[in-house]
Structure 1
Amino acid sequence: MPAVTGKLAAASLALALVAASASTASAQKKYDTGATDTEIKIGNIMPYSGPASAYGIIGRTEAAYFKKINEEGGINGRKINYISYDDAYSPPKTVEQARKLVESDEVLFIFNSLGTPPNSAIQKYMNSKKVPQLFVATGATKWNDPQNFPWTMGWQPNYQSETQIYAKWLLKNKPDAKIAVLYQNDDYGKDYLKGLKDGLGAKAASMIVIEESYETSEPTIDNHIVKLKSTGADVFMNITTPKFAAQAIKKNSEIGWKPLHFLNNVSASVGSVMKPAGFENGQDIISADYLKDVSDPAWNNDAGMKEFLAFMTKYFPEGDKLDKGTIVGFAVAQTVVQVLKQCGDNLTRENIMKEAANLKNFRTEALLPGIQINTGPNDFAPISQLQLEKFKGERWELFGDVISADAGG
């Protein structure tokens, strides 16, 4: 009898071990729609056409980077299936493409979709579906709202912080400035404008002499520039996307208006803005940055820049290395790869957001020295530091210290 009892006990133990190993295996691998043992399906929406088509190069760079990752074996053995659609920077089209990605293509999440109005149009939908809207390609402050929108997270420094930094600089160096503001008439432009006013504080009403808005449907903004000049303003706050930024720089030169010119970071691209506008027309423009610039010889022997250039040469040789969109796409793709690595075999949408909110002092070497990516459950703003820069010759020259958004206002 004892022998039988012993056998039963051994059999029970064996069954328990099998059950335990099975539960361990299932605990190790957790998937939501869009993830399998071999694939991670990522959706993206970019303006490959329309008024903001200059940004389309970001999506193409990301596609090239994921190709690189796949050729190197993928992430934890899984290949990335990157599906990117054009929305022409039109919010109704963005809604259509987001639904297609979530409901037809069944992606695990949508990554780095571009533009403030387009992302605003799908934010409630993405959160109601509980599908991550991760590292959106816009610096609007609204993306850092984990309490109300736990499935949406930004990536780049926010717009309000950037113009607050410009405002602080003006208050210190040119307190009697007469500021003319040109801004895009949407959430993107208004976010920048709010930051400027907040940064100037009580002096905003006296220092800002005109606030002029334009629509993305306008073919040219020349008439707005002429109107701004007529006010006698000696500071120009240029809150525009690349096509219109280049137009503004050219028109300033044509009509001989030479104010102290601030250009928002999202248009501070040598390739897509400064070169088309004419280098001679962009001298001494001030902007701010968080990424290394290919045109700056300071990075000639930098390991991170060498890594970026080697990637471009092999995987995206037709891409313009001088276009800021390429290094943006490279850096944000590296960030999402880090998140997926941290997820391991738990590729649920909930865990994607959990790990996106668990980045600690992460650096892609495309970032300027001293700038790190940090997130937390209550901090959905990965990058919150910038450094001022001035355009000289054919490149941007950094000046001053790295400024945190908090210090900037």
Structure 2
Amino acid sequence: MPALQLRLVTFSAAAALLAASCSGALAQKKYDTGATDTEIKIGNIMPYSGPASAYGVIGKTEEAYFKKINAEGGINGRKINFISYDDAYSPPKTVEQARKLVESDEVLVVFNPLGTPPNTAIQKYLNSKKVPQLFVATGATKWNDPKEFPWTMGWQPNYQSETQIYAKIILKEHPNAKIAVLYQNDDYGKDYLKGLKDGLGAKAASMIVIEESYETSEPTIDSHIVKLKSTGADVFVNISTPKFAAQAIKKIAEIEWKPVHFLNNVSASIGSVIQPAGLQNAQGIISSAYLKDPTDPQWKTDAGMLAWNAFLDKYFPEANRADASVMFGYTVAQGLVHVLKACGDNLTRENVMKQAASIKDLELGGLLPGIKVNTSATDFAPLSQLQLQKFKGETWERYGEVLSSDTGG
């Protein structure tokens, strides 16, 4: 073989070897604590006990959904190891459980921890550790602050835009209203209240005749409802979690107070709120939605609802299908699976947040038509659209167009 030809063969062999080693480097798997070739550890904190225990079913639904994913081969060949702890909706306990997840269990992310006060208690800690606090189960506006808290991201439409939408309806349809507000005395309740006042603008001071707060430690809010009625208010804005929302609906009927009733959507579940309060007592209540209502017959043949029912049949047959929290847990779990799939073999915490902040027009089976998930590096609010609904007969009836926080605020 001539020397030149030999040199060319040697060169091309070396080039091929170099190319192979480069592509090997490019395809190299990257992991942070909590991820391996076979497993992705996901941490979660839920109020399985305590005053907000109605929400515990969210964690149970997520666990069931990840079992389905694992049974189908996992995510890019990796099984999800879902570790979920109870904090009883008590912030000191949340801190304890977050530390356990990060320092003992060594999870990749803390996913969908529930409640505004609990998440507030762990936000600085998780951000200092650079652990994703991903898709938190609370609509407080502050989760959308990528500059200050780049490791925290919300999920559901934020509380302030929801009450701003209600304020617009009140101003338009009840311009002379006397408004009574009941709110939970914590960050969650105050966030909703701020949205209502911002939405009412200059008229807030004259229209709101009473702002009554309750503590989650109270066994009943009956006395607060009696006090609200005594003001002569004809519009009631009910900012409460499921247990207290059900009590309020029941008590209003009992004392024959008939205000126009706006109920925050975190307590719009037919299974955990409306049924316990009595369907007859909930007629005419106004709320909002971004998820399909499983009790609504219009979704009977809907592809997303058929998939949801098939999932429950196989992996969570004991679930109460009238409970909106089951649909919430299912949908947010799908959101996490989307992000983890997008991460490919780069399962670093940084890449998890990068993929979570790069979602474009994601449609999930449990979301109402026209409502899509969108995020960016400067927008950590995945969902920002809502549709108004009124309770009629045995279910919610949606009306009007899909509203976004832009039109709501």
Instruction: State the TM bucket, normalised to the shorter chain.
Output: over 0.9
Report the Cα distance in structure 2 between the residues aligned to 1:324 and 1:24, rounded to whole angstroms. 44
Report the Cα distance in structure 2 between the residues aligned to 1:7 and 1:310, rounded to whole angstroms. 59
**Structure 2 counterpart SS, 1:386:** strand
**TM-score normalised by the chain length of structure 1:** 0.97
- Describe how 1:5-404 pairs up with structure 2 within 5 A: 9=11, 12-13=14-15, 15-26=17-28, 29-404=29-404
Amino acid in structure 1 at the alignment position of 2:126: M
Amino acid in structure 2 at the alignment position of 1:250: K
Listed one character per residue, the Cα deviations across residues 163-217 of structure 1 (whole Å, up to 9, x for unaligned) are: 0000000101010110000000000000000000000001000110000000000
Listed one character per residue, the Cα deviations across residues 51-79 of structure 1 (whole Å, up to 9, x for unaligned) are: 00000000000000000011011111111
Report the Cα distance in structure 1 between the residues aligned to 2:8 and 2:374, rounded to whole angstroms. 56
Amino acid in structure 2 at the alignment position of 1:374: N
Amino acid in structure 1 at the alignment position of 2:57: I
In the alignment, structure 2 segments of 5+ residues that lack a partner are: none
Amino acid in structure 2 at the alignment position of 1:62: E
Amino acid in structure 2 at the alignment position of 1:239: I
Report the Cα distance in structure 2 between the residues aligned to 1:17 and 1:135, rounded to whole angstroms. 40
Report the Cα distance in structure 2 between the residues aligned to 1:5 and 1:303, rounded to whole angstroms. 62
Amino acid in structure 2 at the alignment position of 1:403: L
Report the Cα distance in structure 2 between the residues aligned to 1:292 and 1:198, rounded to whole angstroms. 28
TM-fit CA distance, 1:300: 1.1
Q: CA RMSD in A?
A: 1.4
Report the Cα distance in structure 2 between the residues aligned to 1:15 and 1:370, rounded to whole angstroms. 51
**Structure 1 counterpart SS, 2:407:** coil
TM-fit CA distance, 1:12: 4.3
Report the Cα distance in structure 2 between the residues aligned to 1:380 and 1:56, rounded to whole angstroms. 25
Report the Cα distance in structure 2 between the residues aligned to 1:87 and 1:388, rounded to whole angstroms. 32
Report the Cα distance in structure 2 between the residues aligned to 1:151 and 1:17, rounded to whole angstroms. 36
How many residues are paired up? 407
TM-fit CA distance, 1:312: 1.0
TM-fit CA distance, 1:15: 4.8
Moved more, 301-310 or 142-151: 301-310
Report the Cα distance in structure 1 between the residues aligned to 2:9 and 2:235, rounded to whole angstroms. 88
**Structure 1 counterpart SS, 2:406:** coil
Amino acid in structure 2 at the alignment position of 1:16: L
Report the Cα distance in structure 2 between the residues aligned to 1:224 and 1:2, rounded to whole angstroms. 97
Listed one character per residue, the Cα deviations across residues 260-311 of structure 1 (whole Å, up to 9, x for unaligned) are: 1111000000000000001111110000000000111111111111111111
Report the Cα distance in structure 1 between the residues aligned to 2:334 and 2:76, rounded to whole angstroms. 15
Report the Cα distance in structure 2 between the residues aligned to 1:108 and 1:336, rounded to whole angstroms. 12
TM-fit CA distance, 1:105: 0.4
**TM-score normalised by the chain length of structure 2:** 0.97
Report the Cα distance in structure 2 between the residues aligned to 1:175 and 1:7, rounded to whole angstroms. 86
Amino acid in structure 1 at the alignment position of 2:334: Q
Structure 1 residues 69 and 174, CA, compared in 2 at 3 Å: closer, same or farther? same
Report the Cα distance in structure 2 between the residues aligned to 1:260 and 1:155, rounded to whole angstroms. 29
TM-fit CA distance, 1:19: 2.9
In the alignment, structure 1 segments of 5+ residues that lack a partner are: none
TM-fit CA distance, 1:21: 3.9
Amino acid in structure 2 at the alignment position of 1:98: A
Report the Cα distance in structure 1 between the residues aligned to 2:11 and 2:145, rounded to whole angstroms. 55
**Structure 2 counterpart SS, 1:399:** strand
**Structure 1 counterpart SS, 2:147:** coil
Report the Cα distance in structure 2 between the residues aligned to 1:344 and 1:22, rounded to whole angstroms. 15
